[in-house]
Structure 1
Amino acid sequence: MQNKGINWQRVRSHIMVFDAPLAILIFLIISTGIITLYSAGINFPGRVEDQLRNILISFVVMWIMANIPPQTLMRFAIPIYTFGIALLIAVAMFGMVKKGARRWINVGHVIQPSEMMKIATPLMLAWYFQKRAAALRWNDFIIAAIILLIPVGLIAKQPDLGTALLVVAAGFAVIFLAGLSWRVLLTLVILAGASIPIAWPMLHDYQRDRVMTMIDPTTDPLGKGFHIIQSQIAVGSGGFSGKGWLKGTQSHLEFIPEHTTDFIFAVFSEEFGFIGSCILVALYFLLVVRGLMIAANAPTLFARLMAGSVTMIFFTYAFVNMGMVSGILPVVGVPLPFMSYGGTALVTLGMGAGILMSVQRHRKLVQT
């Protein structure tokens, strides 16, 4: 009987691995996403079923990552990062081209390697700073910047500025949390602002058009500005309490672009209004706060940096998506976390959530 009790305790310790506050917040956001997707994809049979399958896969990935100790994960940092860079180079050489972008490669199954770099890059950076923690110098930050810029450059060349932005955010969060001073941060911001005139001619025509459309979409209301104008109309027409579930006209009449993926927030805002949007923003805010709490209580530098970077990924996803749908940021193709339809991004988010849960779970195991 005693052996059975011990065995059950071992099994239970590998099953009950989820951090309750984090899991509840993710469940609420995913549930909101399914409700919204049912309305947004009413003209696309099978979308909800496919998303439920994606959620199940993401859940399994989350469970697996939550069971892997941060120390074990750290050992795979170099192989995962190197493998990701190799895939990005392979994409640049003979990747698949869709809609003018070379982002995919067929390895028996079509994959988008840039997605894995959202986790692989901060993982590598966290490993590097953990190894250098005892004698951290200014040149270590330069090497870290190079580690970050290699995948960012390869991803931006595809071109995929949305994913490149997310990788920058996750990687920079690691560098900042590792001890980058505010003076250096302020200097980088100033240099970035000063480099805009130099970088502007280097952008693709469609990228410059997105920026100009963000500034004033009415300059081409029936062309490049049409979609963002329709998205803003959807957000504004929801009013205070919304038009009601399944009653959004902008999405059902196909005015909103990509209304099951990148622009699902416009569908949600139209049907649930300002109140619903505030509740959704509050859920994301609490998700970020919980992630920061886990990062702050992490037992090692590596765990703290990884938890902080994953939290920054969640924040950047939500902020950029809501910003572009509302018209205050350029459209860069970033999905709304745990709500937008899609498999690869949802699995990446599940992996990130699993890392947070692993950090929290193994912190408790160390304490006990």
Structure 2
Amino acid sequence: MKISLSWLQDYLTITESIEKTADILTEIGLEVEGVETFEKINGSLQGLVVGEVLSCVKHPNADRLSLTTVDIGRSKLQIVCGAPNVATGQRVAVAPVGTILFDKEGKEWKINKGKIRGEVSEGMICAEDEIGLGDSHEGILILPTDFTVGSELKDYYDTSSDTIFEIGLTPNRSDATSHLGVARDLAAALKINYQHSGQVEPPSVDAWTIDNRSRQVAVEVLSKEGCPRYCGVVISGLQIGDSPDWLKQRLSAIGVRPINNVVDATNYVLHELGQPLHAFDLDHVAGHKIKVQTLAAGTPFVSLDEQERKLHSQDLMICDGADKGMCIAGIFGGLGSGVSSGTKEIFLESAHFDAKWTRRSSER
């Protein structure tokens, strides 16, 4: 399990070093198997500088290359550039000789001085995808004119990083399956052994309000053994899109791929509180009714990965009013009822499924 230090610090003041914090976590039964640094931008723009293109002429030996002179403050460099949009007077991102860059797979490579078609090249003028500032490779990244020539590029972008603890969580520590759970455990150790206040500030829910109760969804739990508690809420007026950068970065730091704002919010709550959530597109919930039950053995169910699965008679299912399975409780979402780009309204599920039932179905 991956735990973010900056996320822990949202709830708890931690003054100990990273190494000491890792030791304390291990002492309280949350064994730290590794510590790594997560960078919002791989390499954090180290070594990159702001340059100004002083001259740009056609390469004498190549039709599609340009020969440029670039001022980087401390020196002027001759750089061969293949971008079609390079021009005199531009502010550009320059990787001088010796700069380490990273490809899309995270593999590093070093900028070396060399000759390109017989002309010396003393660095590289970078496109945004080559330095982690975007995905475009159509041309070089043109910077705003108020960026100071010779300054470090990292001064103009968010190059924040985070420390990630890899914890080998044992089955008996369900209390620590979330950031808030780990924060509480860590706070107890700090209070007893390190004169810490032990104060944990959980996320506030003061802003949460119910606007109206006009969108009723009936819930019927027919298998109370498999589901002791089931609840949910309707959220309307949604526009599906990308999550804000802070949320995408926080999920990426712990190895969770951002998908869209609704799915990312459910994943965030899972890793913050340890409570799984599932969002159903309300337009695909027949009869606006939820039934928690089992279905006949052999009933086909198509999961989100587009695989048809044959159900066991003891698989707990979340069904709609037409008894159509929408989700294998706590395990697989269904293909037809999930959030899509056109979703405007969701039913957000928060339930307690019996662990034995969930584990049994997950191993079939």
Q: Which is higher, the Rg of structure 1 or of structure 2? A: 2
Structure 1 length-normalised TM: 0.22
Q: TM-score, normalised by structure 2?
A: 0.22
Q: Which of the two has greater helix per residue?
A: 1
More strand by share: 2
